[in-house]
Structure 1
Amino acid sequence: MTQLTQRAMAASLKKMLSRKTLDKITVKEIADDCGVKRQTFYYHFKDIYDLLEWTFVQEGEQFIDAERICKNWQDVYLEVFQYIENNKNFTINAYNSMGREHLERYFYKIVYDLIALFIEGTRDSHKISQEDKDFICNFYKYALVGIILDWIRGGMKADPKVITSKLHSLLKQQMHTDLFPLSSD
């Protein structure tokens, strides 16, 4: 029942965020939309930002599939772009409100996890120290999330397939090594 209530609140928040920014949404509106009391909301979440972050994390789990990431992380990165594009109003309204910090934290976590899984799936990952793995993950996390945030800031006009294709070419040309291959092809 707890998970069902949380998902209902997340769906309500997403619906409202598709029409207005986060700072215009109240806990009462979410509770009313779900048919629960405000106290029920606070039983599950400390505030709307907590619900927003929970929503991002729950939806982000769909991208964490180690086997797929190790085979082709570019397709998974493209799926992240497509998820954002399919939830354009939700994303833009979260980005343009005080929820931006939660949105960015979500992207950083998802992208870091994707890169970490990819590194672990490379044939020579055992040769890379944990310190170096963390550095690699952080470097690419900031670069890849920066691209996503810039795309959102620009109104999501560029085609995600073009962005990921350019990124794939750039990374393959610049960073391909025997120790850390960037693709399994």
Structure 2
Amino acid sequence: MSLSTKQQLANALKVLMLTKSLEKITIKDIVAHCGVNRQTFYYHFKDIYDLLRWIYKTEAIGSILDYKTYETWQQGFLKIFQYVEDNKEFCMNTFHSMGRDHLEDFLHSEVFSLVLNVVNEISTEYPIADDSKRFIADFYTFAFIGLLTSWMKTGMKEKPCEIIKKLEKLINGTIKRAIYKY
């Protein structure tokens, strides 16, 4: 029942965000849409931003868990782009709202984890300090998030698979070279 209720609340927020900006949506709006009371909302989430994080974590990031290796990172990034494209109104509403910081922080955390896994996998061949690994992962994380947000700002015209092809061509071998330099 708990997961079902969380999903109901998530669906309500997503539906409401099709017609209202995130700042204008209240918990009262969400629970009214679901037919539950406010306490039910607070049983599951501390606020609307907590619900927003849960949506992104379960829907967007849940789909990339199997793509955190050197051989599969491209599919993980493609899944993120496809999620944004498939949920354009919801993601753009978040992007253009006070929820943008939450979205970027969340993306940074999840993408950093993906990239750090790749760095750790590659670095088994080379002795490298953990802080250097984190620096390399942070650099590529910011590059990816910058690419994603730029794509969103310009109307998402380019197909995600084309962006990933360009990214793969650009990045291929650079993480290994960065590790080697450290």
Task: Calculate the TM-score normalised by the size of structure 1.
Answer: 0.87
Greater displacement, 86-95 / 154-163: 154-163
Residue type of the partner of 1:165? Answer: K
Q: 1:52 Cα shift?
A: 0.7
Residue 102 of structure 1: CA displacement?
Answer: 1.1
- Is the CA contact 1:53–1:103 (under 8 Å) kept in the aligned structure 2? yes
Alpha-carbon contact 2:122-2:176 (below 8 Å) kept: no
Amino acid paired to 2:63: Q
- Which residue identity lines up with residue 53 of structure 1 in the other structure? R
Quick check: 1:32 aligned with 2:29?
Answer: no
Give matches, 1:103-182, under 5 Å.
103-122=103-122, 124=124, 127-172=127-172, 174=174, 176-177=176-177
Q: Distance in 2 between matches of 1:154 and 1:53?
A: 24
Contact 1:63–1:80 (CA under 8 A) maintained in structure 2: yes
Q: Alignment identity in percent?
A: 39
Structure 2 alignment gaps of length 5 or more: none
Which structure is higher in RCO with an 8 Å CA cutoff and minimum separation 6? 1
Q: Is the 8 A contact 1:49 1:99 kept in 2?
A: yes
Within 5 A, what are the aligned runs for 1:89-100? 89-100=89-100
Q: 1:25 to 1:89 in 2, by over 3 A?
A: same
- 1:61 maps to 62
Q: Give the counterpart letter for 1:156 in structure 2.
A: M
Secondary structure of the 1:80 match is: helix
Structure 2 CA distance for partners of 1:6 and 1:109, relative to 1, 3 Å: same
Shift of 1:174: 5.0
Superposed displacement of residue 126, structure 1: 6.2
Instruction: Report if the CA contact (8 A) 1:124-1:179 is conserved.
Output: no
Change (3 A) 1:174 1:129: closer
For 1:170, give the aligned amino acid. Answer: L
Asked whether the equivalents of residues 69 and 76 of structure 1 are also in contact (C-alpha less than 8 Å), the reply is no
Gaps of 5+ in 1: 181-185
Rounded Cα–Cα distance in structure 2 between residues aligned with 1:104 and 1:138 = 13
Count of equivalent residues = 179
**Cα deviation, residue 86, structure 1:** 0.4
RMSD of Structure 2 on Structure 1 (CA): 2.1
**1:77 partnered with 2:61:** no
- Quick check: 1:64–1:113 contact (8 Å CA) kept in 2? no
